[in-house]
Structure 1
Amino acid sequence: MPRSMTGYAKVQKIFEDYKITCEVKTLNSKGLTIDVSMNYFLNSKELDAITKIKEYISRGKVTARIWVRFIKPIQVSVDYSLLKTYYDALSDIRENLNIPMPVSLEHLLTFRDAFQFEISNEEIENAWQHAKAVLEESLIEVVKERKIEGEKLTKDLVEMVEKMQSIVDRINERAAEIPKVVAQRIKTNTRELLPDDIELNRELFESAVALIADRADIREELVRLDSHLKRTRELLSKDEPVGDMLNFISQEILREFNTILSKSRFTDITNFALEGKYLVSQFKEQIMNIE
């Protein structure tokens, strides 16, 4: 069955040297947009993370947060020149504003750009391999959640399709009576307008009936609706991304109902077509959440 585009997962793992947390959230979107947030020393791995996400998700807005904390001690380099600049600036501010509080180490520690972890490329690669494994586990959990939600959505969508099919069947039954009703209306109207002693020209009468009946003929629209609804059922049974195709077909279904409305000669057919349009609007709203 198709999957929903909404999902959430958070996985935390503790390894010998690292504590890694990965949080993945997915929302509705027309296409696929991915936003990845990681430690600065993993910035070079952003494209790798995006590639991994694309293996599991093809549509939706994906936000992934990957955070690595070192359990073992890591060497830190201090930019004393930069800290001295910050210290002097803070001291000037304190003096100019008559602030009694002295500049302390606590204040200087807030300037994180003065402190850099000294991490080797080998260490970065090792940390990334562990982080990637946690990311993959998070993606698996997200996909599971999207499948569960997708099953619920699909059940509702199938019910809507069956209701639309029922409407099409009822219109079909009524549409078969169009030529007979058109002939009767023309005959009745003609008798009301013409004197009793004037006899109708049978050939002209049949031509008029055929012309008006042809303009009111909705058989082609009904055949296309049957075809579209059949295709919709097929798509809803597939275990693959079908959201874009469902959106396209729903537009075609709506077009056919609109055409039937414009051709309608019967109040009940008009009401059926309006009901069909309402169902299509509900259907389109629901498929916005299908991958």
Structure 2
Amino acid sequence: MMIKSMTGFGRGEARDSERLFTVEMKSVNHRYNDIVVRMPKRLTYLEEKMKDMVRNEIKRGRVEIYVTLENLGTGDTKISLNHPLAAQYYQCLREIKNSFEVKDDISVSLFSKFPDVFIIESREEDEDEIWQCLKNAANQALEALVAMRIAEGEKLALDIRSRCDYIENIVRIIEERSPEVVQAYKTKLKERIREMLEEAVAVDDYRLSMEAAIYADRSNITEEIVRLNSHIAQLRKSLKESQPIGRKLDFLIQEMNREINTIGSKANDLEIINYVVDVKSELEKIREQVQNIE
């Protein structure tokens, strides 16, 4: 199982007795599956077959296909001599020469100037034979393209996994820091009350505990941390799938961003906020990588 990048290139060649096909394919990022084929006009009837072949292997990305054809045989035209007409032209030229004592020779170049002396016919080609040759070249290009996309996908997956490890470690630190924030808030509140009263009076511990409990409830980030860890686990699992996962990963990154933003707004702690900034930075780097995954 492996993920695929949307970036790649492949080239293939195939020949038979009559023709040589060269096919080049390149793919780049695209939201949908967009396939563009550029080939000689007389082969446009094969365009949909080419697209179907690519669609079977590539589900997302813009793929540009370039097909060139070199004729090795007689080509698609047949030229023959119209013997009866040429004979009549020749007879007429001889009569002109003899009757008017014209000294110029009757040359081949002179015959070529007469209309219809040469018959040009379109030679019927075997469409199945043409497609088979083109298909062989296209298969080579497609295999090379897919192989490059897989190799690039493996690198992307490795990078994303390492960033997930880093994020998971920061989330663990935030989770450990969270209870300390409540205690720090309680201590700070107690000091502020004493400063406001400007005298060493006893502070009601019960009221302090109530305020701290309200703060703890308001700043509790347990649910967000659980969901964030769940999204990280889903992201890792998705990286092992073979089907296109780009849109799924994009959704998971959005949800992870939502959870970390909530943690930052609820924690009200400078140290945790700094960790949140680090996580958001890593998520943005992952999001950029995900844009290139099929």
> What TM-score range do you get, normalising by the shorter chain?
0.7 to 0.9
TM-score normalised according to structure 1 size = 0.80
Most deviating of 177-186 and 260-269: 177-186
Q: Which residue of 2 aligns with 1:158?
A: 161
Q: Deviations over 1:23-69 (max 9, x none)?
A: 00011112211101122122122111111100111111100112233
Most deviating of 39-48 and 161-170: 39-48
Q: Which residue of 2 aligns with 1:74?
A: 75
Q: Which residue of 2 aligns with 1:217?
A: 220
- Superposition pairs of residues 143-182 of structure 1, within 5 angstroms: 143-182=146-185
Distance 1:175 1:42, change over 3 A: same
Q: Deviations over 1:240-276 (max 9, x none)?
A: 3111111111111111111122122222111100000
Distance 1:43 1:283, change over 3 A: same
Contact 1:41–1:124, Cα closer than 8 Å, also in 2: no
127, 130, 137: which is aligned to 2:130?
127
Most deviating of 31-40 and 63-72: 63-72
Could you tell me how far apart the structure 2 residues matched to 1:117 and 1:177 are? 91
Q: Which residue of 2 aligns with 1:257?
A: 260
Q: Which residue of 2 aligns with 1:19?
A: 20
Q: Deviations over 1:55-106 (max 9, x none)?
A: 111111100112233322134389xxxxxxxxxxxxxxxxxxxxxxxxxxxx
Distance 1:23 1:132, change over 3 A: same
Alpha-carbon shift at residue 147 of structure 1 (Å): 0.9
CA-atom RMSD in angstroms? 2.2
Most deviating of 191-200 and 7-16: 191-200
Unaligned runs of 5+ in 1: 79-115
- Superposition pairs of residues 1-291 of structure 1, within 5 angstroms: 1-76=2-77, 118-120=122-124, 123-194=126-197, 196=199, 200-201=203-204, 203-291=206-294
Q: Which residue of 2 aligns with 1:95?
A: none
Could you tell me how far apart the structure 1 residues matched to 2:274 and 2:5 are? 32
Amino acid corresponding to residue 75 of structure 2 in structure 1: I
Alpha-carbon shift at residue 5 of structure 1 (Å): 1.0
Unaligned runs of 5+ in 2: 80-119
Distance 1:70 1:124, change over 3 A: farther
Q: Deviating runs (4+, > 6 A) in structure 1?
A: none
Could you tell me how far apart the structure 2 residues matched to 1:197 and 1:166 are? 43
Alpha-carbon shift at residue 160 of structure 1 (Å): 0.7
Could you tell me how far apart the structure 1 residues matched to 2:198 and 2:271 are? 33
Amino acid corresponding to residue 48 of structure 1 in structure 2: K
Distance 1:154 1:75, change over 3 A: closer
Alpha-carbon shift at residue 123 of structure 1 (Å): 1.7
Amino acid corresponding to residue 191 of structure 2 in structure 1: T
TM-score normalised according to structure 2 size = 0.79
Identity, % of aligned positions: 30
Distance 1:206 1:190, change over 3 A: same
Alpha-carbon shift at residue 195 of structure 1 (Å): 6.1
Distance 1:8 1:119, change over 3 A: farther
Alpha-carbon shift at residue 207 of structure 1 (Å): 2.9
Distance 1:40 1:77, change over 3 A: farther
